[in-house]
Structure 1
């Protein structure tokens, strides 16, 4: 006797809930035991989302901390907005993680529902032999332990899965809709594709093929108009986001891209960057697409089933984008300098897409008759069983990583809160500021602070970060640090006094086993707005704000490395009282040059000037200095050996300069350690 449709649907939902909730319990249970009852988070980055969610709930969307201003450091635009209601409902502190867990489970169940709709044979040929695939669809969602680790981590991956499923269903609906309804369905697919990218930027590798698939199924509507409806929402989202970033931070890209992408690093050569990309790809392929899926041979089952779906007329408009998106996303995240770390979490979207494509392939094969259905069943069993050996290891890693975050970051947050400082400087925008409630500056730039380029400065080097702190009013400067000493040489050891530390054992996730708390001493920094007497213009080298204002160019790649020093003043009017003064600079290798443009709006008259160059100690060097508009050519300046324990100054007369002139300084002999440039009246 056939069951009523509503009974079958109820049974299906019950059968879907079992693997999803079972997998959640398998990960959260041991982790809760390790954290002593605190809600587990295996990544400090989870708390970055929580910080953005709290700010959104308090009426400051797209801010990390209320008062810090707009931040582009939130990797997901949508996830904090999805978490914000939980904060308003009373899920505060680490317990916002419980709301995130409930949201993850709901999102995965929604993904299962979407996958079931994609697999529905609609009573066509082979429907009876393929119906079983819909019943095992939830197993595809939770079959890979490495992916489950990310599903339940508290990050945006589960929400991405739910949006992914709905976007695929929308593409299918746009394909099957009658002509009168097809434009609306195409636009719906385009909006969901944009939401996909807003949830995780790498999803652009799926959103673009989905738009093409919609256009391919346009029929009588025309491909161009259909492509516009499917792609314009994503294009408008990307354009608006880039424009907001540019307006509020001075960068077109998001802070995460500036900080993490290999392309943002100015020092390596293109070949060196390419080598790192290849290393990332190799690690992702071996660890995420082989080991995590059951080994070199069994891991081929997923792409084989995906290929079957791509060849099937009914499923190809969804399966082809999934395969392109999976491997395209992997190529894109290989540009991320951290792609090989944090338990390969950046590979999670690729794994999700491959699993969905494989489920479609199993259904497509099962529709071919009994023999094909048997082959499909065997391949499905292999695809689902092969990764299972990794469950114990991934569950244990999840628990240990959660214990690391609770034992180090959460504990440091507690101690920082007890000290009640004015503001804390840290190198991870996660649990410490969120749980302590103390205003903070993230030295790596993911948190954002009033539009200052901390993300790019952290790529250039620690002294460049200090230069930005020097720009702050002394009352705004952090009075406490919570840093890894090995990450922040030249800051923690120079401007901090160690007062506390938290050390963990069995570290599998934190950047180091010890995080140190310091009291700050910024006495070596210049007061904001300090100006040397007689200055026409000046360039504070390695201060990225000042460099940008002067169109400063340094030799890159393999040159211009940022350095810093604290030395007594040299009678030059800036720290001339002999007190130690900090300055950052750049190394200009022999044969290379730096250049800048004199402030074009400076109220100075055309005429002679003196170029004063600050450097530190070292052996003899020779410089070539030229005002490029001046036909007098380049002046060679011989610089004798300088003492190592104080700042030194090199003076170069310029015959004729005016606002807008380009000044070039070449290192003719030896490496020039360039810290500061002043243009003085003669």
Structure 2
């Protein structure tokens, strides 16, 4: 039977029409289930989606990059381009529902466009069969349906990546790339991963240009336009630098292993990176369907591994190949795995950090299967070729069929539950704040999206995504975050907290939080960090005076304070060159390691000294020894005073500029601050910035010395 002429001449257009109808049906289906689940209201399935909407609103209000009034410019929107695309409803002041609807419309349009791009790429890489397979695998991927419809930048990044790949395949033979070199700027602006992949495309373009120069297609292998992909790769980092003074975005500061402030933790992350790379590869091979413990499903990963191996093999053999050269995917794949491994919580939210590149993985699967089936059909005798091609095609599709059916059919219900969670927790809290708190309230929070978007109040993002300077403080510990908080200017000091109490274990016990005034509880939590989001008033009366001595000290009568070091305040620690060392415990060998390393741990306490007002202070746990510098008057006796909770009794050796100045004994305290002092003879003080070292007698006893403050008097 002869196919109609339109079908033969315009197969991609026909698939585009089908994708439009099919995509519209699926989108309407999940939105219907969402409204049934939420009680009739539309929302988004991730709180981070509202971060983009808030940045979009800031653009419309004329202060891009300033998340809420009072904040400094930040780059918490991981994608530079996505907030600008979300801005139109905010320019028109249409309200949250219109903004959400616009976001979902963009996502649905990207879903349709990506399906067409997958079909065209599949056709170029593996003919008609590759076109149909790529189209099918994309449209029946449950994770991509969910990811594209989250309102996040996943849809933008994946679509622009597919478009870039299509332009590369079309332009590589000529070695000129007139459109790709500009498309890569969009790719870099869509996500930081896109910037890295722009550089990979740039390398591939140079190689293709050299090949074209050898064949005489171009006059010279070098052209200034070859530098544009690398300019595009630098674009988001230059924007970060211009906006916030750092090439690293605030979202990266809050999430990346490279920004981990604890050296021992960062070192372990980096040592474990090969395991993470392997886990991401396993996730891709298993269709993002790993069992608990990162265990691959054999039914999924075996045919996937074979398909990708066939794609790689047929990218080099046979010598004359009827399909486009897609070897650039073999360069993009490891680069994508590497950059996708940088977030500490890389598998979060259905592997959302991996979803943007996942269509390219599906393209490789489709091309591998289609090429093998085509070779079997065309190269083997008909009697063997037909069943071989059928087996090559049907085997993987049968193995993957539960993904296309069972897993895919679960997406609408799961998506609806996610939206219900966000609506009845973060959105509900935001609306309560909008109607219940004063206009000048400053709300400290740990979910920065819907609470800020609906609350319409100035905010402090405790995690640091949208508030400058808090990412490092939060990741350094609750005590460091507390010290950062309490030093905010009075107009920026939080008046209320909207947090998960479980995320801030010391904060409630410190006395900073007042009695609970509102709680949003989830009965069935599928996506939020915790089941309960709680609002507290802030109480700062007992923490403002924490910089002063709390107990009487007759030993410093008539002396003048020369310097002070506030532990856990990162700026003060840096100014005094403070650092602490310890010995890590080797769990596998059940013994302490022999070599010391920098170990930074914080603590937050509130005690009432001498029957007065309670004092809340943050400090550090020193497991072996610490070093810092203080300002002194050389040659004059000094008194060093420490504030500590004295959780453990300690015998401390004090050294000044390397010379042993004596033994400092600190008895254990039960439930109170103590402020022991140590006299340093003036003969040890030879320079105005004296180096102090305090070393525990037994650094491997499992205990610690916990200084919260140091004062030095002369």
Both structures adopt the same fold (TM-score exceeding 0.5): yes
* Separation in 2, partners of 1:376, 1:230: 43
Query: How many residue pairs align between the two structures?
Result: 649
Q: Partner residue of 2:90?
A: 87
Superposed CA RMSD in Å reads 3.5
Q: Partner residue of 1:52?
A: 55
Q: Partner residue of 1:596?
A: 628
1:585 aligns with 2:609: no
TM-score where L is the length of structure 2: 0.81
Q: Partner residue of 2:571?
A: 545
* CA displacement at 1:671 relative to structure 2: 1.9
* CA displacement at 1:443 relative to structure 2: 0.8
CA contact (8 A) 2:620 2:708 kept: yes
Q: Partner residue of 2:300?
A: 295
Q: Partner residue of 2:705?
A: 672
Give the SS at the match of 1:176: coil
Q: Which aligned pairs between 1:598-613 and structure 2 lie closer than 5 A?
A: 598=630, 606-608=634-636, 609-613=638-642
Q: Partner residue of 1:24?
A: 27
* Separation in 2, partners of 1:317, 1:666: 66
* Separation in 1, partners of 2:710, 2:324: 60
* CA displacement at 1:426 relative to structure 2: 0.9
Give the SS at the match of 2:501: coil
Q: Partner residue of 2:677?
A: 650
Q: Partner residue of 1:437?
A: 456
Per-residue Cα deviation, 1:190-219 (whole angstroms, up to 9, x for no partner): 443343233222345533332221111102
Q: Partner residue of 2:100?
A: 97
Classify 1:288/1:363 alpha carbon distance in 2 versus 1 (closer, same or farther; 3 Å): closer
Give the SS at the match of 1:623: strand
Q: Which aligned pairs between 1:191-230 and structure 2 lie closer than 5 A?
A: 191-204=182-195, 206-218=197-209, 219-220=212-213, 225=223, 228-230=226-228
Q: Partner residue of 2:692?
A: 663
Q: Partner residue of 2:295?
A: none
Aligned residue among 500, 507, 515 for 2:518: 500
* CA displacement at 1:155 relative to structure 2: 0.8
Q: Partner residue of 1:573?
A: none
Q: Which aligned pairs between 1:147-186 and structure 2 lie closer than 5 A?
A: 147-177=144-174, 182=176, 185=178
- Single out whichever of 280-289 and 473-482 deviates more from structure 2: 280-289
1:406 aligns with 2:409: no
Per-residue Cα deviation, 1:494-544 (whole angstroms, up to 9, x for no partner): 322112211111111111111111121111222699899933332211011
Classify 1:663/1:131 alpha carbon distance in 2 versus 1 (closer, same or farther; 3 Å): same
CA contact (8 A) 2:580 2:626 kept: yes
Q: Partner residue of 2:603?
A: 563
Per-residue Cα deviation, 1:43-97 (whole angstroms, up to 9, x for no partner): 1111111111111222222232243111132222221122112322445324422
Aligned residue among 433, 447, 464 for 1:416: 433
Classify 1:36/1:311 alpha carbon distance in 2 versus 1 (closer, same or farther; 3 Å): farther
1:517 aligns with 2:513: no
* Separation in 2, partners of 1:84, 1:308: 46
TM-score where L is the length of structure 1: 0.85
Classify 1:314/1:92 alpha carbon distance in 2 versus 1 (closer, same or farther; 3 Å): farther
CA contact (8 A) 1:427 1:442 kept: yes
- Single out whichever of 473-482 and 43-52 deviates more from structure 2: 473-482
* Separation in 2, partners of 1:285, 1:470: 44
* Separation in 2, partners of 1:242, 1:588: 35
Q: Partner residue of 2:80?
A: 77
* Separation in 2, partners of 1:239, 1:461: 27
* Separation in 2, partners of 1:163, 1:2: 31
Q: Which aligned pairs between 1:228-377 and structure 2 lie closer than 5 A?
A: 228-237=226-235, 239-241=237-239, 243-244=241-242, 247=245, 252-263=247-258, 264-266=260-262, 268-269=264-265, 272-273=268-269, 277=273, 284=280, 289-290=285-286, 292=288, 295-300=300-305, 302-304=307-309, 306-307=311-312, 310-311=315-316, 319-361=326-368, 370-371=377-378
Classify 1:8/1:300 alpha carbon distance in 2 versus 1 (closer, same or farther; 3 Å): closer
Flag structure 1 segments of 5+ consecutive residues without an equivalent. Answer: 122-126, 571-576
* Separation in 1, partners of 2:261, 2:237: 24
- Single out whichever of 524-533 and 381-390 deviates more from structure 2: 524-533
* Separation in 2, partners of 1:105, 1:225: 39
* Separation in 2, partners of 1:387, 1:75: 30
* Separation in 1, partners of 2:195, 2:478: 33
Q: Partner residue of 1:574?
A: none
* CA displacement at 1:325 relative to structure 2: 3.0
* Separation in 1, partners of 2:323, 2:487: 56
CA contact (8 A) 2:666 2:676 kept: no
Per-residue Cα deviation, 1:231-251 (whole angstroms, up to 9, x for no partner): 42234325414534762xxx5
Give the SS at the match of 1:502: strand
CA contact (8 A) 1:424 1:440 kept: yes
Classify 1:414/1:246 alpha carbon distance in 2 versus 1 (closer, same or farther; 3 Å): closer
CA contact (8 A) 2:199 2:233 kept: no
Per-residue Cα deviation, 1:246-276 (whole angstroms, up to 9, x for no partner): 62xxx55333333223451516556753686
CA contact (8 A) 2:650 2:705 kept: yes
- Single out whichever of 151-160 and 384-393 deviates more from structure 2: 384-393
Classify 1:134/1:43 alpha carbon distance in 2 versus 1 (closer, same or farther; 3 Å): same
* Separation in 2, partners of 1:318, 1:157: 26
* CA displacement at 1:487 relative to structure 2: 0.9
Classify 1:284/1:8 alpha carbon distance in 2 versus 1 (closer, same or farther; 3 Å): closer
Aligned residue among 642, 651, 654 for 1:625: 654
* CA displacement at 1:152 relative to structure 2: 0.9
* Separation in 1, partners of 2:75, 2:600: 27
* Separation in 2, partners of 1:585, 1:495: 16
* Separation in 1, partners of 2:390, 2:150: 31
CA contact (8 A) 1:524 1:581 kept: yes
Give the SS at the match of 2:104: helix
* Separation in 1, partners of 2:303, 2:524: 32
Q: Partner residue of 1:455?
A: 471
Q: Partner residue of 2:293?
A: none
Classify 1:160/1:674 alpha carbon distance in 2 versus 1 (closer, same or farther; 3 Å): same
* Separation in 1, partners of 2:75, 2:687: 38
Give the SS at the match of 2:517: strand
CA contact (8 A) 1:292 1:387 kept: no
* CA displacement at 1:25 relative to structure 2: 2.5
